[in-house]
Amino acid sequence: MIPFDAGAPGSLAAAGEADDGAPADPFALLAAWLPGWDGAPLGPMTLATIGRDGYPAARTVLLSGFDGERFFFHTDARSAKAAELATNPRAAATLVWPEAGRQLVVTGDVERLTASDAAAAYSHRTRYLQVLAWANDAEMAQHSLAERRERWRAFDAAHPPGMLAPPPHWAGYALAPVRISFWLADDAGPSHRLAYERDGGRWALAALPG
């Protein structure tokens, strides 16, 4: 679960705090919603890219980290999303905290991370996810369940814990927002959005209906 500073579920205090005291800088609000990244993945988010056929393409990925300004995620460089980002380095991500009545939508520009940055994130993945990054390709997907499990077992046995380096196709990306919207539930009134848009060197803020 992604840590957040939410107050009580559906907390009006939490909503009002962000609403009436909306900071000019959305990163101040992001720091409150996504505090304390220790290097481990923060939780799932929906990542939307621009499909090569023009249709949107969406899937869940782990939010690998947040450095105060950029959202990191990791994937297989041979994946559809990697090809889409190579063509169109733009994406949107949504995170939702239903119990707290919060949704975050971030739209922006995507850059590939260096291999050493990506390797640091790999070291913070669980053993299962480290093996998955090696043993989850198009060729593997063609085999039966029994065969996939056998290949997994053999790979796992041949690579003791602590010995795995990221595969060559392990790729990290940073999403730098140009638009950030904070959606807030309110159990005594309408839901509400604080919508920030980068405007040159500053952020424009609009209050929008939920």
Ligand X SMILES: Cc1cc2nc3c(=O)[nH]c(=O)nc-3n(C[C@H](O)[C@H](O)[C@H](O)COP(=O)(O)O)c2cc1C
* CA trace torsion 63, 68, 69, 72 (10° rounding): -20
- The verdict on 136 binding ligand X (CB under 6 A) reads no
Give the total of residues touching ligand X (CB under 6 A).
Answer: 13
- The verdict on 44 binding ligand X (CB under 6 A) reads yes
Nearer to ligand X, 98 or 189 (CB): 98
Q: How far is the CB of 80 from ligand X (least distance, A)?
A: 4
Angle between helices 127-134 and 145-158 (to 10 degrees): 110
Nearer to ligand X, 76 or 186 (CB): 76
Q: Name the one range near ligand X by CB under 6 A: 52-60, 140-148, 184-192, 199-207.
A: 52-60
Q: Indicate the pairing of strand 56-63 with strand 43-50.
A: antiparallel
Nearer to ligand X, 52 or 59 (CB): 59
Tally of CB atoms within 10 A around 192:
18
Tally of CB atoms within 10 A around 168:
9
- The verdict on 107 binding ligand X (CB under 6 A) reads no
CB-CB contact of 195 with 205 (8 Å) = yes
Rounded Cα gap, residues 186 and 176, in angstroms = 29
- The verdict on 191 binding ligand X (CB under 6 A) reads no
Nearer to ligand X, 173 or 182 (CB): 173
Q: How far is the CB of 76 from ligand X (least distance, A)?
A: 6
* String of DSSP letters for 21-42: T--SSHHHHHHHHS----SS--
x/- string (CB under 6 A) for ligand X, residues 66-105? -------xxxx--xxx------------------------
Q: Indicate the pairing of strand 90-97 with strand 102-112.
A: antiparallel
Nearer to ligand X, 76 or 197 (CB): 76
Rounded Cα gap, residues 184 and 103, in angstroms = 7
- The verdict on 52 binding ligand X (CB under 6 A) reads no
Residues that bind ligand X (CB under 6 A): 44, 57, 59-62, 73-76, 79-81
